Structure 1
Amino acid sequence: MLPLFRLKVFFEALARFHRINHSQAAVYKALVSYHGRLGCYPSHATLAAESGVSERTVRNALREARLRRWIDWTNERVGRRQSVNRYRILLTDEYINKVLNALHRFKRKTAEISEFFRRQNLPGSPYFYIKRASQTIWKQLDPPSNGLTPWQRLFRDNRE
């Protein structure tokens, strides 16, 4: 089982690379905080309250995570009524390590660019170059196959 703090840092890294928005990251981190050995069983209302977003945002974030194959859930039924959803996290340790290593490279590159601007006393802002460095690092992390990135293939195949 993956350490929970690494999963939380993973979702923060994805938000930092602008692959997910911050409300989705909050939902995923709330879900991870309930995760145990056999999965977790929080309701949408519980996740919404803990992450500070609406229940609709929780449903959309969970649906998107399921499409990306980060989580999966099954309906656990008791009698005729649905009692709970059982969520399981499907992320591999290898992918998490790749993203976290890319985050460390991004932080170093951001510090280099900021230091360069400070020492040279250049006008303007270094954020354009920082964003370009972020995009370059992410392209190295997920190289496109067949001309499409994994994110483009995901939304091409699942048009919801």
Structure 2
Amino acid sequence: MSNANRHDIHVLNNLIQTAIDSADGYREASTEAADPGHRDLFGRRSYERRQVAEELQSTVRALGGDPADDGSVLAKAQRAFADIKHALMRDEAGMVGAVESAEDALRGRFEKALEDSHISATTRETIRRAFARVSEGSEGLHDLRHSLEGQRDASNPLFPH
């Protein structure tokens, strides 16, 4: 690996870890979701995030580096906490909210990488394309969470009918 590529590889590996974290989170959400439509949605998103990670891994290899192949320890701890919370509350809206928060963090990581003035133009374009795919895939989570929260509120006996 040349010194010229070292920073690009570091940035890309951070994004790979984040994409893998997202894929793992969606996979877990797909197994926990009660609604079959939500399970299907989360399963598709997990697959899409794995594809983004694999494409970024190919770029790291092309730059002469060793690509990250696992998510972050922090994300694993956060998912474990979310699993406990979901198990205690059995709250689909809360689970979707956790996925939405993770997606916000993912988009933030990509935005920060795109603002990095030290990456090459080629790497920036690779990140921009991956970010477009990630952004496209995260649309609708906000609306889904609000819909689920509305259903939860409507089932409350204090909700005005």
Which TM-score bucket, shorter chain as reference?
A: 0.3 to 0.5
Give TM-score, length-normalised by structure 2.
Answer: 0.32
> Which structure ranks higher in relative contact order (CA pairs < 8 Å, sequence separation ≥ 6)?
2
Q: How does the TM-score come out when normalised to structure 1?
A: 0.32
Rg larger in structure: 1
